[in-house]
Amino acid sequence: MSEHGPIVIVGTGLAGYSLARELRKLDKDTPVILVSADDGVSYSKPMLSTGFTKGKDADGLAQADVDAMQAQLGIEIRPHTQVTGIDVDARQLQLADGALSYGRLVLACGADVLRLDIPGDGGDRVFSINDLGDYRRFRDTLGEGRRVAIMGAGLIGCEFANDLRNGGIEVDVIAPCDALMPGLLPDAAANAVQRALTDLGVRFHLGEVVERIDRADDGVCLSLSDGSTLDADLVVSAIGLRPRTALAADAGLAVNRGIQVNRALETSAPDVYALGDCAEVDGHVLLYVLPLMACARALAKTLTGERTEVSYGVMPVMIKTPCCPTAAYPPPADAAGDWQTDADGNSVRARFVSPDGELLGFAVTGDFAVEKQALAKEVPPLHG
């Protein structure tokens, strides 16, 4: 392993900053440089879908600027600096304004939002919210607007629906699926969340897609596949994310759904590592905070001399729909078994049980959500 040159981390999201923090717990001296395409402001991305509920705009959600992070962690940060290429033989990053040599390189460059090319002239009123800058633009443009249409009924679409309603905004959710959060929640739990959000005033248009978005006098008019139309001030597109792999792929690194790394977070190139939303760790792409924190702890040890593999354990996903608190730990996609469900109104306990009686996954909503810790002790970890 080359010890020469700084540890360079691409990205100042939760993955990049968590790794820098873990590194500094173990080693105060090795030079660490973070390079980021954005402004480097530290924030907690999950809080973006709680802004209205907590009464915070983009400034309120910002935690620390670049100067504060540099001082706090004893690192160098280069904001507004796009990495355009990696030369793994020369151990160099290509930047818009020159080159940067590294001893060890960590890719923490996140995920791209999926975008639909929808006909109509209303495209500039469609917002994807995947970082603090996106959130700022959305809030600034919404201004006093009071009607938002959300495309997508996954975790992020549902969280924004709850949060915007808490802010007194009229919300329509349009999605092609028949039930909320497919892949994450079984139908019984999804229906409970949908009922609670409906009671809160969210209007759902499931089984539909948006076919056109046209400018209207004071906003946009969306044309849906059932022939209906609806008006909104703005549209939030929350149809999914894809790990950012182009930089790694162009440099010849192995890439599948994400940048492929083993459990020691090593890519196919020497002294190049990846973690966070951009990484596919031992076959798993997990776009959540707990996995990246576990990766940051393991990688900090590796980078300070003790090669360490990450262990994921059991990490239920908490869904921030306060009108119906929900937690889920989906079973493996290919697992044999059945969902067994108890329900009391919008409180649902769904357990996925194998033919030999083993609990492989669960979803709990409403009053049963408090059982998540107890259930988490019964299911097998993602890997030991």
Ligand X SMILES: Cc1cc2nc3c(=O)[nH]c(=O)nc-3n(C[C@H](O)[C@H](O)[C@H](O)COP(=O)(O)OP(=O)(O)OC[C@H]3O[C@@H](n4cnc5c(N)ncnc54)[C@H](O)[C@@H]3O)c2cc1C
Segment lying near ligand X (by CB under 6 A), choices 10-18, 67-75, 184-192, 216-224: 10-18
DSSP letter (8 states) at residue 266: B
* Interface pick for ligand X out of 9, 41, 48, 265 (rule CB under 6 A): 48
Instruction: Return the residue of 19, 21, 36, 251 that touches ligand X, per CB under 6 A.
Output: 36
Task: Give the nearer residue to ligand X in terms of CB position, either 180 or 224.
Answer: 180
| CA–CA separation, 46 and 78 (whole Å) | 24
Site string for ligand X, 335-374 (x = CB under 6 A): ----------------------------------------
The token duo for 313 is 């354990």
Taking the complex as a whole, how short is the minimal distance between the CB of residue 16 and ligand X, in angstroms?
Answer: 6
45 touches ligand X by CB under 6 A = yes
Among 7, 37, 265, 303, binds ligand X (CB under 6 A): 37
One residue of 32, 181, 222, 289 binding ligand X per CB under 6 A: 289
| Interacting residues with ligand X between 65 and 84 (CB under 6 A) | 82-83
Q: How far is CA 60 from CA 38, 246, 271, in A?
A: 18, 33, 38
DSSP state letter for 4: -
CB of 238 vs ligand X, minimal distance in Å: 8
Least separation, in Å, of the C-beta of 102 and ligand X? Answer: 13
Q: Is the dihedral of CA 348, 354, 359, 360 positive or negative?
A: negative
By CB under 6 A, the residues from 120 to 139 that bind ligand X are 129-131
SS3 content of the chain, % helix, strand, coil (to 5): 30, 30, 40
Closest approach of ligand X to the CB of residue 43, in Å: 9
Nearer to ligand X, 11 or 330 (CB): 11
Residue from 22, 172, 233, 277 in contact with ligand X (CB under 6 A): 277
Least distance (Å) from ligand X to the CB of residue 230?
23
In angstroms, what CA-CA distances link 322 with 44, 50, 162?
A: 18, 10, 7
Of residues 247-276, those binding ligand X (CB under 6 A) = 247, 276
- Does 11 engage in binding with ligand X (CB under 6 A)? yes
Q: Is 153 in the site for ligand X (CB under 6 A)?
A: no
Of 12, 42, 237, 346, the residue at the interface with ligand X (CB under 6 A) is 12
Residue 136 corresponds to which tokens in the numbers above?
């700022």
* CA pair distance 375, 177, nearest whole angstrom: 28
CA distance 346 to 365: 7
According to the binding rule CB under 6 A, does residue 15 interact with ligand X? Answer: yes
Task: Give the interface segment with ligand X, choosing from 192-200, 281-289, 325-333, 351-359 (CB under 6 A).
Answer: 281-289
Query: What φ, ψ does residue 49 adopt, rounded to 5°?
Result: -95, 25
Q: Which two tokens stand for residue 67?
A: 């100067």
User: What is the distance between the alpha carbons of residues 38 and 33, in angstroms, rounded to a whole number?
Assistant: 15
Residues 202-231 that bind ligand X (CB under 6 A): none
What phi, psi does 279 have (nearest 5°)? -100, 145
Contacts (Cβ under 8 Å, ≥6 apart) of 152: 173, 175, 237, 238, 239, 240
Choose between 112 and 231: whose C-beta lies nearer to ligand X.
112
Nearest to ligand X of 224, 279 (CB atom): 279
Q: How far apart are CA 21 and CA 40, in angstroms?
A: 15
SS (H, E, C) 339-376: EEEEEECCEEEEEEECCCCCEEEEEEEHHHHHHHHHHH
Residues 292-331 that bind ligand X (CB under 6 A): 292, 318, 320
Which among 102-110, 211-219, 223-231, 359-367 is the span making contact with ligand X, rule CB under 6 A?
Answer: 102-110
d(CA 204, CA 150): 10
Q: Does 108 bind ligand X (CB under 6 A)?
A: yes
The residues that touch ligand X, with contacts defined as CB under 6 A, are 10-16, 35-38, 45-46, 48-49, 82-83, 108-110, 129-131, 156, 159, 244, 247, 276-277, 287-290, 292, 318, 320
